[in-house]
Structure 1
Amino acid sequence: MPTTRETILAALQARLQLLAATVLRDEVLPERIPLAGLIILRDGQPGEPEVTLSPLRYHFQHRAELEVIVQSANDRATAFDTLIAAIGTALAADRTLSGLCDWVEAEAPTSVDLPVEGALSLKAAVVTVVLHYTTADPLA
């Protein structure tokens, strides 16, 4: 049976797969970026939980990361902005991932342009997604 953490990360990935962009999890950057863009979900860090007693509960603010990448011949900035906005809309539509989390929120990205020799430049950013959830065991 998967842990709470794995269940939540899988639900986040499923939520993102509703977008037009290709969504991967913990994969290396492929040689080609799909036209609609690419999102690579990195598991990130659950961090140090806050603990409450009676009953014993561990409250995590897990920081997963989304590597968001576009490569477009037309307007890379617009394609990137559209994909970032779509991620925000997808997360806002279900802030609890169907009740698995207490709250899901994304932090603002800082984008960079990455030159690629012999190809179109990439526009990329890491978007941190904070997953607030509670477990009865730190390994659950």
Structure 2
Amino acid sequence: MTTRREQVLSALHARLQGIPGGFAVLRNASLPEKIPAAGLLILRDGTPGEPWVTLSPLRYHYEHRAEIEAFVRGNGLDGAFDTLTSAVGTALAADRTLGGLCDWIEPEAPEPADLPVEGATMIRAAVLIVTLHYTSADPLA
């Protein structure tokens, strides 16, 4: 049986994979040697944090902080980065419950940084924090 945590993270990963535009989407992968021309997203599972617990029935309410690492390269970084991050925002806003698996998902604004690479084009990267609010009957289920 799949845990609620894994169901939520798998649904988020599937949502990111459905973004049009040819972005590569990985989960918990190491950074590849080459960033695809359209851009790259890497979903990191993050941490569920300490749950808020209610009794009768016993429920664990999480504010799980997942991370989406976003990368673009080449010329026109401003436009490419804006296209990539707005596509993520649009995909998340389309269903903030991930098909009913979450109570709500809320992304935070990115803080981009330019990464110079010797002998290659500049890379712009950012970590987008996404808070996933969901409930589970057991912290391990």
Q: 1:67 aligns with which of 66, 69, 73?
A: 69
Give the equivalent residue in structure 2 for 1:121: 122
How far, CA to CA, are the matches of 2:37 and 2:115 in structure 1? 17
Give the equivalent residue in structure 2 for 1:100: 101
Q: Secondary structure at the match of 2:9?
A: helix
How far, CA to CA, are the matches of 1:79 and 1:66 in structure 2? 16
How far, CA to CA, are the matches of 1:86 and 1:79 in structure 2? 11
Give the equivalent residue in structure 1 for 2:85: 84
- Percent identical pairs in the alignment equals 66
Given residue 126 of structure 1, which amino acid in structure 2 is its aligned partner?
A: V
How far, CA to CA, are the matches of 1:3 and 1:139 in structure 2? 7
Q: 2:59 aligns with which of 36, 51, 57?
A: 57
How far, CA to CA, are the matches of 1:77 and 1:69 in structure 2? 12
CA RMSD of superposed structures (Å): 0.6
Give the equivalent residue in structure 1 for 2:43: 41
Measured after TM superposition, the shift of residue 18 of structure 1 is 1.1
Given residue 128 of structure 2, which amino acid in structure 1 is its aligned partner?
A: V
Runs of 4 or more, structure 1, over 6 Å off, are none
Give the TM-score normalised by structure 2. Answer: 0.97
How far, CA to CA, are the matches of 2:53 and 2:62 in structure 1? 9
Q: Secondary structure at the match of 2:63?
A: strand
Structure 1 unmatched ranges of 5 or more: none
Given residue 34 of structure 2, which amino acid in structure 1 is its aligned partner?
A: R
Given residue 30 of structure 2, which amino acid in structure 1 is its aligned partner?
A: V
Give the equivalent residue in structure 1 for 2:32: 30
Q: Secondary structure at the match of 1:105?
A: strand
Measured after TM superposition, the shift of residue 36 of structure 1 is 1.0
Q: Secondary structure at the match of 1:69?
A: strand
Give deviations 1:11-35, integer Å, cap 9, x for gaps: 0000000123110000011011111
Give the TM-score normalised by structure 1. Answer: 0.97
Structure 2 unmatched ranges of 5 or more: none
